[in-house]
Structure 1
Amino acid sequence: MPSPIPVTRLLPKDLYPSVDIGTCSSPLAHHGATLQVPVQRLHGKVASRLWSSVIRWKELRSIQPVGSGGFGSVYKAEYFGETVALKKVKKCTKNRLASRQSFWAELNAAHLRHANIVRVIAATTCVPAEFGDESSIGTVLMEFVGSRNLQQIIDDQSEALGADRRLGYSADIAHGLHFLHSHLIVHLDIKPANVLVSSEDRCKIADFGSSVKLERGCEMSALSPRLSHVGGTYTHRPPELLKGEEVTPKADIFSFGITLWQLITREQPYTGDRQHVLYAVVAHNLRPCVRTHPVFQSEQGRRLTALLTRCWSGEGRCRPSARELLPHLEQLRAHT
């Protein structure tokens, strides 16, 4: 079936042509014509800012498992001599449409390049038998950022996580969100586990399987059939999406607020039954604890409390934009 993501959202029109092209092995189609995109090579050998619909399987070496979850499995590998991450997106037998949409959502930011966004190299739904996996709907090849995510750093009590470091991480995420939102992309699953940390201690936003590409001037309901793949994590999900209301970039700001709270406290935002939490977030304005938490009793803690309160406001219009977050985070960092 055709992809729910229009071709024009993936590549700028002036970048289609290339002397080195490969037929798209995915179901991306436009008016019956098959999309063709330049083959991605590393180090800019062809065009470093384009992703490819062709994976040169013979160039993959040393494939090693890194982790797995509900989304599928991730492997570390060598591709054209460089270390990359290979992600096999899992096929959901209960909801195949959502599975397909989730795979294509992974490519919403594939044509973009930013220091705080994980770069997509190639993606395909056609896999040779020797690399095949019947439970997989497609494969995405990405830059290898590292083996750690922000949740692992938060959970590792031996890892120093002082004010300067956590605010630096927060600024990285805000920079990435500002870039995504400026291109009308909403991630919809911002949380520590979806933020990878590089060997240079830089954060990069990953896992776009719940993301959506908005159309300028158009509203989109979270209950729209086009968004049947939208999931996200309930502990970080804003109340307007729990109620099925309009999707806007401010949804990511709410999730950012919960993530920042976790960076500060190194705790889980909620305890108790999932359905109780969901109901309380919407009906009773439930938020993670700041009032009695000792971390928030200092002067900087009070400034952080004010920022968090704005980020997780029940009204999206009352939340700051990602761009507005940046000077606040820099000011807080200057006073550490």
Structure 2
Amino acid sequence: MPSPIPVTRLLPRDFYPSLDIGTFSSPLSKHSHGPSLQVPVQRLPDSIASRRVSSVIHWKQLRSVQPVGSGGFGSVYRVEYFGETVALKVVKKCTKNRLASRQSFWAELNAAQLRHRNIVRVIAATTCVPADVGDESSIGTILMEFVGNQNLQQVIYGGAEALGAERWLRYSTDIVNGLRFLHSHSIVHLDIKPANVLVSGEDVCKIADFGCSLKLDHGCELSVISPHLSHVCGTYTHRPPELLKGESVSPKADIFSFGITLWQLITRELPYTGDRQHVLYAVVAHSLRPPVQDQPVFQSDLGRLCRTLLSRCWSGDARIRPSAEELLPQLEQLKSKATPTAFT
């Protein structure tokens, strides 16, 4: 049985102009006029994997709720839903910045209508949360595909097995394929880092956690001083200098973050040490980047190619950075050089 709560209370009015199919325009897009997400309000088909995003969560169908993790804006649970294992994310209000937490919820839906092998799929979303699922601090819930319990951060820093060149190149290609698809739909993620890349049981990487994302109009840049960007967050170690300086957002911001992530995959080290404010200042004022010159791992033929690619990805000038589309053939070139002894 679906939730007895009327559909007109599930989401704000711009999420459901009609009861047959609603048109959603996120308040985090550059302009909130015109359609950007189709939300069918209907019964579930036989397989939840085949349907588009719904504004109804059938609460009585949730079984075996198990906590998976929690972050600044919410908690994630593994649940059984109509017999399938899925993930349930409960987004909570941040007492220090309620606007930011609410915007984070809407940002999570920027890519909700998209379907891609390397992006975590959204099944349903609602702003109504029953008392036995959330509490008065909950903004809403998002039902997503369950990828697994492991993210790339855990693979890099917690895995005992070797992370060979073939494997990290495959992971990198997965991430860039996901970014290419997002950017082709004018969506920038703005928080690409290992912890936000999930690794499935089939060893496939999927980009997750869109709480910092933005939808741009036709690939246009957007100034970070815009009122639409009061939620812009991201992790300081992966944030590009143009955003630290308050300049425009573009898809090239994700490429910078990918460059830091690629360096982590190669070295399995932390990108920076020291005080956060010192790092932020040095990234902007002194072009501080993770070390490559004196590391043996970058002295082989493959390592030197990686060093060149990294320098372009994390260039202080966003125009110099390659697009996700341009990165893919460069990663293929690296694959041609990868051997079991490529970094020895």
Partner of 2:264: 262
Partner of 1:301: 303
On the 8 A contact 1:151/1:192 being kept in 2, the answer is yes
Closer/same/farther in 2, CA of residues 70 and 257 from structure 1, 3 Å limit: same
Residue 99 of structure 2 aligns to which amino acid in structure 1? Answer: L
Shift of 1:203: 0.0
Selected match of 2:136 from 125, 128, 134: 134
Shift of 1:130: 2.0
Closer/same/farther in 2, CA of residues 49 and 285 from structure 1, 3 Å limit: farther
Closer/same/farther in 2, CA of residues 158 and 31 from structure 1, 3 Å limit: closer
Closer/same/farther in 2, CA of residues 41 and 181 from structure 1, 3 Å limit: farther
CA RMSD of aligned residues (A): 2.0
Closer/same/farther in 2, CA of residues 319 and 129 from structure 1, 3 Å limit: same
Aligned counterparts of 1:115 and 1:279: Cα–Cα separation in 2:
37
Structure 1 spans left out of the alignment, 5+ residues: 1-20
Shift of 1:33: 7.0
Superposed, which structure 2 residues align to 1:1-336 within 5 Å? 22-23=7-8, 25-29=10-14, 36=22, 37-39=39-41, 45=47, 48-216=50-218, 218-336=220-338
Aligned counterparts of 2:113 and 2:216: Cα–Cα separation in 1:
15
Structure 2 spans left out of the alignment, 5+ residues: 1-5, 23-38, 339-344
Aligned partner of residue 66 in structure 2, secondary structure: strand
Aligned counterparts of 2:16 and 2:66: Cα–Cα separation in 1:
39
Closer/same/farther in 2, CA of residues 71 and 177 from structure 1, 3 Å limit: same
On the 8 A contact 1:63/1:75 being kept in 2, the answer is yes
Query: Sequence identity of aligned pairs in percent?
Result: 74
Aligned partner of residue 50 in structure 2, secondary structure: coil
Aligned counterparts of 1:167 and 1:284: Cα–Cα separation in 2:
29
Aligned counterparts of 1:161 and 1:64: Cα–Cα separation in 2:
30
On the 8 A contact 2:73/2:94 being kept in 1, the answer is no
The number of residues matched between the two structures is: 316
Residue 11 of structure 2 aligns to which amino acid in structure 1? Answer: S
On the 8 A contact 2:48/2:123 being kept in 1, the answer is no
TM-score of the aligned structures, taking structure 1 as reference length: 0.89
Shift of 1:41: 7.2
Residue 67 of structure 2 aligns to which amino acid in structure 1? Answer: P
Partner of 1:14: none
